[in-house]
Chains A and B, each alone.
Chain A
Amino acid sequence: MLDFPRWKVLWIIFVLVFGVGLSIPSLMPEETVQQVGLGRLPRINLGLDLSGGSRLLLEAETADIAKQRLEQMEEQVRTEMRRQEPRVDIGDISTSGGRLSFFVRNVAQLDAAVERIRTLTQPVGMGGQRDWNVQVVDSTRIVLTPTASGIASATDSAMEVATEIVRKRIDELGTREPSIVRQGSNRIDVQVPGLKNPEALKALLGKTAKLEFKLVDLNADPAQVAQGRAPPVSQILPYADPKDGVGIAVQRRLMISGDQLIDAQQGFDQQSNQPVVNIKFDSQGGRRFARTTQENVGKPFAIILDGKVLSAPRINEPILGGSAQISGSFTVESANELAIALRSGKLPVALKVIEERTVGPQLGADSIHAGVMASIIAIVAVVVFMFLSYGRFGLYANLAVIINVFVIVGVMALFNGTLTLPGIAGFVLTIGTAVDANVLINERMREERRRGRSVPQSVELGYKEASRTIFEANVTHAIAGLIMLLLGSGPVKGFAVVLLIGIATSVFTAVTFTRMLVVWWLKRNRPTEIHI
């Protein structure tokens, strides 16, 4: 072991210089990094608990997606049965139990009806499965049951769209480097660093932004409406602002929906100077809006957002240009929020915040400061103690520990790792445990020397015997770290990353690197005694 080939020396030095070099951008303030043109090098990201910011975990109700699909299927079946001649007469449609079932009045048409319905189902994935199962029950009823893979693929595509829309909405807020990641089958993890106003973000993401225009039902009896009863063609919807009243009866039939919008901007009403949202329909939507407003001049219509009536203005004249104005009890902020939500599109499914963590920027800055302070003091304490205990060999170990600190930072930057507060704890702990390898080696050398072995023999045996122990101890330690990484959430993960990187790099610096230093010293000085 005492001969160290030149290529090995060069290799060790190269690895360490590379590691230390990678750490440099992360250790400088961001502005300086940009100034000296190192902006493109990888840097460590700060976790939200250090940078300040918000993390939201959003969850979609899978049941909602299933319900929507069922409603869509019902609509499709009704149209399909009427679309072609001969029309199939159906009745007693039920959607209870998550299945769609209906009755075919003319038994002779049953097979034809089944044929037509099959064309409505889609194949999903491999293996020839379809998204709906079509069955005939009692030779008169057709039952459509959603298959598990059908629901899974519907959830998947809904979540894909939802993630995209969430991204658009957050981008509109103009925050820097948000992270929006799908998690599991029906969740989205949103992290927005340095956000001043997390309430706005939550309000924005909580909106489905389903915009509808419906005519107000003027035939409904106000007394009945007050009791919550409406004629069959209408429904009672609550007002968004309780000040406007309890509810209003609107026709079920849609005038036009927000799907046909091409733009939405916050603006002000020309007369009242109240904040409003100006919207613009696409050409088809514009024509449709023009037609319905022409037909209904003088009547009120309801502007409905997510099932709540924002306002119900009267149509004073036909609206022909494809532009319209949404009025309501808005503030500038809430109007702007709605404009963003409408621009980014409707969420295919409502999202609920099931976990939220917000850290103020001041606490984050304090934590970084405290973490850096603790790290420096820990390093100084360990370095002094090691030097007092092992002299020259302590110095070698210290050099290894200090290089290790930089290499950990460098490796984390290389993997674009995120440093969190528990990560700092992992860092400090690594400083304490990294010297364990050197303690093992040095103690072993002491022992061998006491047993009367020569200096080179003691050094050789010290490294050889201790290396085995170090390997075993670190493998088991890494098992704990790996499990944390795989099963842990949030802070546990941040801690595990640092711990694992620290284990890997510390073995290299504490064993390989110090051995090189010791061998150099032995070769140059040929000592007959070692102080250890």
Chain B
Amino acid sequence: MRLLKLVPDNTNIGFVRIRFWAFGLTALLTVLAVVAVAARGLNLGVDFVGGLMIEAQFQQAPPLDKVRSNIDRLDVGESSLQTFGDPKTVSIRLPIPESADEGATNAVVEKARKSLQGEFPGVTFTRYDTVSGKVSDELIRNGVLAVLLAVVGIAIFSWLRYEWQFGISTFVAIMHDVLMTLGFFAVTQLEFDLNIVAAVLTIVGYSINDKMVIDDRIRENMRKYRKMDMKGLIDLSVNETLPRTVMTSITVMLALGALLLFGGHVLRGFTAAMMLGIVVGTYSSVYVSSSLLITLGLQPRPLDAKETGIAGAERVGPKA
């Protein structure tokens, strides 16, 4: 049987040669992502802004404006509607009733249920979430903190394990991945909720995984070919790990694709974010973190110095 081989043996693609173009493109895209987040903002879910979210399942796809006017007639505050990928499932977002009474939210849910069932027979409320402003503030804080800690923690790990250049390049590359993901959510206006924070952290995890593999190969080659210049060395390392990069991205994409198509509407935004993150993370492994190592002046030589330093110390030992 002939085996499937997606990447030919011994590729020699000059990744590093076009790094300035890539830097330019990357910088442009990152700036655009930040601008998109600043200008359009994220479509934050009730997890982060507080409020009441009702998910209603209709028998047939309802006209959204009719649903909206139905809800607006109830006078329960400004509503915002959205479909969940599937036109029959509509999410209705409302502010939390002012009254401190425990029954107030239930009263709103019941009112909405009765009113909608009158106009659209067979509609059911499959779930609803109520998050108070206090809790949503905490959730935002914890989410931001989690992402930052993960990025910084990983950068510190690769700094301690390798040279400082690896720490910085990983940090920059992962920040790039995070910003691009946020930009994606700002442009598409997909709902950004707690699940998406998990997705962002997963992207961070996957992306770092990918960078570690290449970084590890660069280190190995730095030991092997002490005379080779850094550009050639990085090209070699990226080319050597290319089959693995392609294979792993494909297996992960296959798994995520199954989740996107068959995993149900609740996870759709989550999966879309991760698929994008895999692409972005793979790109940034080559064009952000590896190329940045050259700019940061990583040389095979410091390694020599370190080793002779240790050897020297050993030689001093017996004399003293």
Contacts and interface: CB of A to CB of B under 8 A. Distances in A.
A and B physically associate: yes
Interface of A: 49, 57, 59, 199, 202-203, 205-206, 352-360, 362-363, 366-367, 370-371, 373-375, 377-378, 381-382, 385-386, 388-391, 421-422, 424-426, 428-429, 431-433, 435-436, 439-440, 443, 446-447, 450, 465, 468-469, 472-477, 479-481, 483-484, 487-492, 495-496, 499, 531-532
B263 A439 contact: no
A353 B102 contact: yes
Contacts of B217: 469
Interface in B246-270: 247-248, 250-259, 261-264, 266-267, 270
Contacts of B270: 422, 425
A355 B135 contact: yes
A391 B3 contact: yes
A357 B3 contact: no
A499 B202 contact: yes
A429 B256 contact: yes
14 contacts: A59-B134, A354-B135, A355-B130, A389-B3, A422-B198, A428-B259, A431-B255, A432-B251, A433-B206, A439-B247, A473-B212, A484-B198, A491-B194, A491-B195
A483 B208 contact: no
A321 to B, nearest CB: 35
A357 B195 CA distance: 14
Contact of B127 (A363, A450, A531): A363
Q: Name, among A202, A436, A532, the residue most crowded by chain B CB atoms within 10 Å (CB to CB).
A: A436
A439 B246 CA distance: 10
A208 to B, nearest CB: 11
Contact of A428 (B130, B146, B194, B255): B255
A487 B146 contact: yes
Nearest to B203: A480
Contacts of B256: 378, 428-429, 432
B125 interface: yes
Contacts of A429: 202, 252, 255-256, 259, 274
A472 B146 contact: no
A374 B198 contact: no
A421 B267 contact: yes
Interface string B149-173: 1100110011001000000000000
Contacts of A378: 254-256, 258-259
Contact of A450 (B10, B202, B241, B250): B10
Contacts of A492: 143, 146, 194-195, 197-198, 201
Contacts of A424: 263, 267
B128 interface: yes
Given A439-B251, A443-B247, A370 B262 contact: yes
A385 B252 CA distance: 11
Nearest to A357: B129
Contacts of B271: 425
A199 B100 CA distance: 15
A465 B127 contact: no
Given A202-B106, A374-B262, A422 B126 contact: no
B149 A359 contact: no
B64 interface: no
B6 to A, nearest CB: 8
Contacts of A446: 9, 243
Given A389-B5, A492-B146, A360 B134 contact: no
B204 interface: yes
A420 B244 CA distance: 31
Contacts of A443: 241, 243-244, 247
Contacts of A355: 130-132, 135
Nearest to A361: B126
6 nearest CB pairs, A to B: A206-B102, A432-B255, A370-B264, A480-B205, A432-B252, A363-B126
B220 interface: yes
A390 B261 CA distance: 27
A479 B251 contact: no
Given A352-B100, A422-B267, A439-B248, 6 more contacts: A199-B103, A428-B259, A436-B252, A450-B9, A450-B10, A476-B157
B81 interface: no
A429 B201 CA distance: 13
Contact of B264 (A366, A483, A490): A366
A484 B201 contact: yes
A487 B146 CA distance: 6
A360 B125 contact: yes
A477 B105 contact: no
Question: Looking at chain B's contact residues, is the secondary structure mostly helix, strand, loop, or mixed?
Answer: helix
A433 B248 contact: yes
B235 interface: no
Nearest to B136: A355
A44 to B, nearest CB: 18
A475 B146 contact: no
Nearest to B4: A388
B240 interface: yes
Contacts of B149: 483, 487
A382 B253 CA distance: 9
Given A363-B55, A428-B258, A474 B209 contact: yes
Contacts of A421: 264, 266-267
B198 A360 contact: no
A206 B138 CA distance: 23
A433 B213 contact: no
A357 B244 CA distance: 42
A439 B264 contact: no
B209 A491 contact: no
B320 interface: no
Interface string B14-29: 0000000000000000
B255 A382 contact: yes
A498 to B, nearest CB: 11
A496 B201 CA distance: 9
B203 to A, nearest CB: 9
Given A354-B135, A378-B259, A489-B139, A472 B212 contact: yes
B142 interface: yes
A112 B127 CA distance: 63
Contacts of B266: 49, 363, 367, 421
Nearest to A207: B102
B158 A360 contact: no
B304 interface: no
Interface string B84-96: 0000000000000
A485 to B, nearest CB: 10
B102 A203 contact: yes
B254 to A, nearest CB: 4
A254 B248 CA distance: 74
Nearest to A478: B205
Among B55, B135, B204, B255, the most chain A Cβ lie within 10 Å of the Cβ of: B255
B142 A487 contact: yes
A475 B248 CA distance: 18
